[in-house]
Each structure stands twice: as structure tokens, then as C-alpha cells.
Structure 1
Amino acid sequence: MSRALSALLLHGAGGGGWEWDRWRALWDAEGVAVRAPDLAPRASLADTVLADYLAQAAGALRALPRPRVAVGASLGGLVAAAVAGEADALVLVNPLPPAPWARELPAREWPAVVPWRAQARLTSTRRALPDADEATALWAFRRWRDESGAVLREAHGGIAIERPPCPVLCLASLEDEDLPLRVQEPFAAAWSADLVRVPGSHVGPLLGRQAAACARLALAWVYARMGVGAMAADAQAPLALGVGEGMG
């Protein structure tokens, strides 16, 4: 029997599909066919460019049966937004914004290979995940990977993306120091996205103590927007998180 909904979950820079394990468990239990692949670099990470990730994401999304939802966090949010013309709904979690909103991002320098794996420390992982428990911080510390500087330079420089025709949800963390609300809110407004402000850090909606609640909130929104599924009645789930929301 085919499932009613399929979803492609795209991770952020320096991460992998493992970042979505909590979302995947909940969505799978609700009958969603979930794919959370690792975005694969070229043989040489230094030669990897954003187009490599976009091509992988577009192919993976097209391979899923409809209705299908594209979901992305941070860099994965930018990638998901770029391929969302093939999706029936789009969920963005603290996404890197496209142009022109990317110009509001702080200026940064990126080496050819960003050594997040090579220089990973448990202490810095804990700082990046203040809303996660010790076991999750240790688990994440062991899984970070190095990233292509060219990908990050292109993404932070801003790429042009047309707003997809499907409904858009943006989850924005209140304590996100990498992509603060002042960057996310204008982008969400311009795209007529439903913006939900959630507690926690940049990767808190995936790995923090609120991850399961955020996953359920996002799935309830998808079902409500599509008008299908038992979770459509949970469309007011943001209220259970005690967060501000701008749905409508």
C-alpha cells in the first residue's frame, strides 16, 4: 500500500542525514515515507560547488511519489527552497536565505575546506547545542563533517530563487545566532510563508529538547495545508510550544 505523503529532508553544512533522526522517527510513525540523504561532495571536497548539492536534491525529490514535501535546515533550507518547484509543500528550518536577503548575513571568510570534522571539539559542540542534552551533544560531535568552502561562499553570497508555488512554512529559532530573526523575518514575509518562532538555537529544532515538538508541528502544518491526514486537526500545535507564530 502506498503512503499518503513522502518527504525529502535536507541537512545543513557540516552535517548529514543523521541530523533528522528525531523528525524521521516521528514522521515515519505517522505514515510518511521519509528520505534524509547525505548531500555528497565530489571526490575532492574543495572542488564541490553548490550546484552539486542542488542536482542531488532535485533528483531525490523528483524520485519521490506525490504528494511530497521538501524540508531543509540552514544550508539545506536554501537547497530545499531552490528545488521546491517540484514539491507540494516546503518546510524551512532556520534557512540560509536567497538573494537579496542573504546580504544581511554577517561577512565571513571560508577556506577551500572548512575543517569542522578535523577541528571538532565536544566543548564547541555543546556551545552550538545549548538546548540539547549531553548524549545528543556527544552523538553530534562524533558525526560532524568537513564542508566545501566554495559551497558556503556561494550560499552566503546569495543565489536567486523564485518563490515556489507551494505553501511555505519557516521555523525560526529565537536564540539563533547564525541566522537571527532580523534576517529570517523579511525573507519569510516576502515569500508569504507561515512563520513560527520556536525556542532554541540554530540546530535546536533538529537536535534540541524541542525537536520532537517541532517535527510534529511541521507535519501538522503540512497536513493542514494539504487538507489531509489525521494530524490536520493539530494545526494549532505551535501553541503547545509556547512560541509566537504568524500562521495564515
Structure 2
Amino acid sequence: MTTFVVVHGAGGSGWEWHRVARELHGRGHDVVAPDLPCEDETAGLAEYADAVVAAARAATAAATAPARPSPGEGPALLVVVAHSLGGFTAPQVAERLGADRLVLVAGMVPLPGETGGQWWETSGYQRAARERADREGVVARMDTDEEVVATFMHDLDPALAEEALRRGRDQAGRPMSDPWPLTAWPDVPTSYLIFGDDRFFPPEFLRRMVRERLGIDADEMPGSHAAYLSRPADLAERLVAYAGPTT
């Protein structure tokens, strides 16, 4: 059995992962997907990490690890999963909880001392986005609901996309100005999954960033930036596979 602790992206909520959670529950695993205090202008990266760690510990009733399995079930595992801006929070959570694995899905990968605001340029994202716009005419826009859907969730059923828009939350700015507090990437086995149809984070940019910043090769599956809603079964299968051997 694995407990998956999910850190959602900017302006999101744990609800976004309810379809993946259902798939994981059906496979015998637990999911903790708390809402971050993203509407709180006083909450920064430390408070985000505190919120996730508190939710994980409350759900598992243990200080630094998931609840122990029943006899014969084998050892329980703890996997921290991060989406998008959640990449700035999840490494802190994984280190504090002693996670068995850290999985980033279309996640931002920070460097020590880097802020979220700086990341757009220092990671190479802005250059990659310009190159993609010149080459394919694909531009990430979010001024209207229609543009948000086209950029982030173009492969969702319209009714589900409408619900996702309705459940969207404001994103305070402080997490984008807080320097990433860790001095190095945590000593936790890390995997990275790209969504191949992502119009927000170009896959070719993510592949390069992951190699440069994590020293690993990213995996890829179909789906938009919101593939947790459009392809929950496929994503759940990937997560279960990542929860396998950690060495």
C-alpha cells in the first residue's frame, strides 16, 4: 500500500485530483490532497509546506511516515506528488516526511535561493514559450475563461472544464517571491512526468530543464496541463508504477 501526498498547483485545490484519487483508492492506495492556503496573502512557501505536512500527518496518524500496514501487506510507502507550482513546495514536504519517492508531474523545478518569479526566466521557460509561439503559433493565454481552457485543459469534457473553472481559486503572490529555502534537492528518489499535449509548459522545455536541474530523463504521457482530470486512470497507473522499487 502507498500513501500519495499531492501538492496542487497555483490557484488550484485538492479537488482537482479527485478523479486520480478515486483510481488510486480502487487500487488499494491512500491519497492525501489538501488545499494549500493559496488565497492567503501572508502565506509563503513555508506555510504551504506546513499545511501539506500537517494534513499528511493527520491522515496517516504518524509523525514522519504513513500508517503501518496490516500483517502480511508488506511495507507501506509514502510518495509525494507535485503539479506545476507545487514543485516549489513538494521537495520540502518530501524531506520533512521522509518520503520514499518524489514525483513531479508538469512541475516547476527550483534551484536553491530561486524565487518563483525568477524561475520563468532562469529556467528557460520564457525563451521556450517564445520559440514555440514562433514555430507553432501556440501562446499561453489566460485573460478569459475560454483562453484558460484552451491553454490548460483543452482535452477536458466541457462540463468538467466548466466545473474546474468554477472551483478555481485566486493565487496570492507571496509564494512567487519567497526564495526556495532548501540548499539542495532532497535526498529522495525523484521521477518526472511530462504531459505531452501541455500548452502551458512546452514538453521540449521540460525535458531540457529536468536534465539540467535534476540530472534525470523525464517520462511522458498524453494529456494537457490538467491531465489529472482528463486522464486520471493513465496518471494513476503511472503513479503506482513510480511507487515501485526506489533504488
Q: So what's the TM-score if we normalise by structure 2? A: 0.72
Tell me the distance in 2 between the aligned counterparts of 1:120 and 1:21. 26
**Residue 191 of structure 1, aligned match among 205, 214, 220:** 214
Identity percentage of aligned residues: 31
**Residue 96 of structure 1, aligned match among 105, 108, 112:** 108
**Residue 193 of structure 2, aligned match among 167, 171, 185:** 171
1:106 and 2:126 correspond: yes
Unaligned runs of 5+ in 1: 108-118, 228-248
Tell me the distance in 2 between the aligned counterparts of 1:176 and 1:60. 29
- Superposition CA RMSD, Å: 2.7
Aligned residues: 206
Which region of structure 1 is more displaced relative to structure 2, 13-22 or 63-72?
63-72
1:84 and 2:94 correspond: yes
Match of 2:20, SS state, is helix
Tell me the distance in 2 between the aligned counterparts of 1:120 and 1:26. 33
Report the equivalent of 1:211. Answer: 232
Report the equivalent of 2:136. Answer: none
1:51 and 2:46 correspond: yes
CA contact (8 A) 2:111 2:184 kept: no
CA contact (8 A) 1:48 1:150 kept: yes
CA contact (8 A) 2:2 2:243 kept: no
Which region of structure 1 is more displaced relative to structure 2, 140-149 or 194-203?
194-203
CA contact (8 A) 1:122 1:137 kept: no
Q: So what's the TM-score if we normalise by structure 1? A: 0.72
Equivalent residue letter for 1:59: A
Tell me the distance in 2 between the aligned counterparts of 1:172 and 1:22. 19
Per the TM alignment, residue 170 of structure 1 is displaced from its structure 2 partner at its CA by 0.8
CA contact (8 A) 1:98 1:160 kept: no
Bigger RCO of structures 1 and 2 (CA < 8 A, at least 6 apart): 2
Tell me the distance in 1 between the aligned counterparts of 2:21 and 2:80. 13
